[in-house]
Amino acid sequence: MKKILTALVVCFALITLAACSNSSNKNQSDQQAVSSMPKIDGFTYYGKVPKNPKKVVNFAYSYTGYLFQLGVDVSSYSLDYEKDSPAFGNKLKDAKKLTSEDTEAIAAQKPDLIIAFSTDKNIKQLKKIAPVLVIEYGKNDYLQMLTNLAKVFDKEDKAKEWLKNWKDKTAQAKEELKDYIPENTTFTVMDFYDKDLYLYGNNWGRGGELVYDALGYLAPQKVKDEVFKKGWYGVSQEVIGDYIGDYALLNVSDSSKNAAASLKESDVWQNIPAVQNKHILEVDENLFYFSDPMSLDAQLKSFVDAVKKANS
């Protein structure tokens, strides 16, 4: 009887060990699985990019929200707008702020993937630390970018689901806003950098993708002609009235609120019809800065609420 019990114990131990080994091998295999690294215009790969990265150091800050939406976490941020974005909640609470020049700090993070813009001057050093995905900004539009990143990380189902929901949400919002503003309403998207005024087109964040592309509102012709091709355009306070449409989406942050207050007190600003009609939608630039899926979802609600408030 004792021999039988001993044999059973040994057998059970072997089965348990085999199961643990298989589980360990599976987890290790998942972590080491390499992306197919699909050929995508504007994407360049250095090294074997993991399909399921566990620690991503991201310097291409425009894509932080894309990664989160696809279920890929990032362990660092390089722009305060990422950390301060209401759309990201506390996802970056424990993240470390890094620049691509901080090679020692980057290496200490032991990343299994680094993401950088193609204009980053430190790519040569970064690719010595870990595999690098380099992305050329503006090569693909904001919606295509979600699909592209999903292909890299084998998460195309998540991308398709969000894109379908986004199409439905924006159609519903546009229908809802018909009761407040005509479809041919013109918008100007703007913010401040230091004390300077900047205007934005349909591919440079600050709400441009939402207003002009997703919701289909128009820009004043002067904005189309001088801003859209470049993406952004600096103007002086003296001529800002020439660029303001029926409405303006005015991005303001803590760092620019004084400049905004100064503009609002000026005679030039007070004489603009959109100002006189109370059609200036002042929004949080921390929220409207990016055009990733998480930011867009939050921006849509904020924008609809702002339009309704302006017309209440």
Q: Which value, in Å, is the radius of gyration of the alpha carbons in the chain?
A: 24
**pLDDT over threshold 90, residue 2:** no
213, 255: one domain:
yes
135, 212: one domain:
no
- Segment holding 57, helix H or strand E: strand 56-58
Instruction: For residues 211-239, give the mean pLDDT.
Output: 96
137, 203: one domain:
no
Task: Output the average pLDDT for the chain.
Answer: 91
> What tokens were used for 280?
């200036």
Instruction: For residues 172-187, give the mean pLDDT.
Output: 96
DSSP for 208-267, please give it. Answer: HIIIIIIS--B--HHHIIIIITTSEEEE-GGGGGGT--SEEEEEE-TTTHHHHHHHHHSH
151, 241: one domain:
no
183, 306: one domain:
yes
**pLDDT over threshold 50, residue 29:** no
Whether 36 maps to a domain, the answer reads no
Neighbour count for residue 1 (Cβ, 10 Å): 5
87, 181: one domain:
no
Whether 8 maps to a domain, the answer reads no
141, 195: one domain:
no
Distance, in Å, from the CA atom of 163 to the CA atom of 145, rounded to the nearest integer, reads 11
Whether 72 maps to a domain, the answer reads yes
Q: Which of 122, 157, 192 is the last residue of a domain?
A: 157
Percentage of the chain modeled with pLDDT above 70? 90
**Domain hosting residue 75, numbered range:** 43-157
Q: Which amino acid would we find at residue 24?
A: S
Instruction: For residues 221-243, give the mean pLDDT.
Output: 95
pLDDT digits (tens, 9 = 90+) for 103-121: 999 999 999 999 999 999 9
pLDDT band at 31, cuts 50/70/90?
low
Partners of residue 46 on adjacent β-strands: 132
pLDDT reported for residue 193: 82
Q: Which of 157, 188, 209 is the last residue of a domain?
A: 157
Query: The dihedral of CA 187, 188, 189, 191: what is its sign?
Result: negative
Distance, in Å, from the CA atom of 161 to the CA atom of 181, rounded to the nearest integer, reads 30
Distance, in Å, from the CA atom of 163 to the CA atom of 282, rounded to the nearest integer, reads 27
**Contacts for 137 with CB less than 8 Å, ≥ 6 apart:** 60, 62, 117, 118, 119
182, 152: one domain:
no
Report the CATH number that the domain containing residue 78 is assigned in CATH.
3.40.50.1980
Instruction: For residues 244-252, give the mean pLDDT.
Output: 97
pLDDT band at 195, cuts 50/70/90?
confident
239, 132: one domain:
no
> What tokens were used for 298?
């939050």
DSSP label at residue 33: P
Distance, in Å, from the CA atom of 263 to the CA atom of 242, rounded to the nearest integer, reads 15
pLDDT reported for residue 35: 95
Whether 1 maps to a domain, the answer reads no
- Crossing angle for the helix pair 156-177 and 142-152, nearest 10 degrees? 160
pLDDT reported for residue 196: 84
152, 273: one domain:
no
238, 305: one domain:
yes
Whether 21 maps to a domain, the answer reads no
pLDDT reported for residue 8: 45
Domain count along the chain: 2
- Segment holding 46, helix H or strand E: strand 43-46
Whether 37 maps to a domain, the answer reads no
pLDDT band at 252, cuts 50/70/90?
very high
pLDDT reported for residue 208: 97
Whether 267 maps to a domain, the answer reads yes
Q: Which of 125, 157, 189 is the last residue of a domain?
A: 157
Among 26-35, 117-126, 131-140, which is the least confidently predicted range?
26-35
pLDDT reported for residue 194: 74
- Crossing angle for the helix pair 156-177 and 293-310, nearest 10 degrees? 10
Whether 116 maps to a domain, the answer reads yes
143, 261: one domain:
no
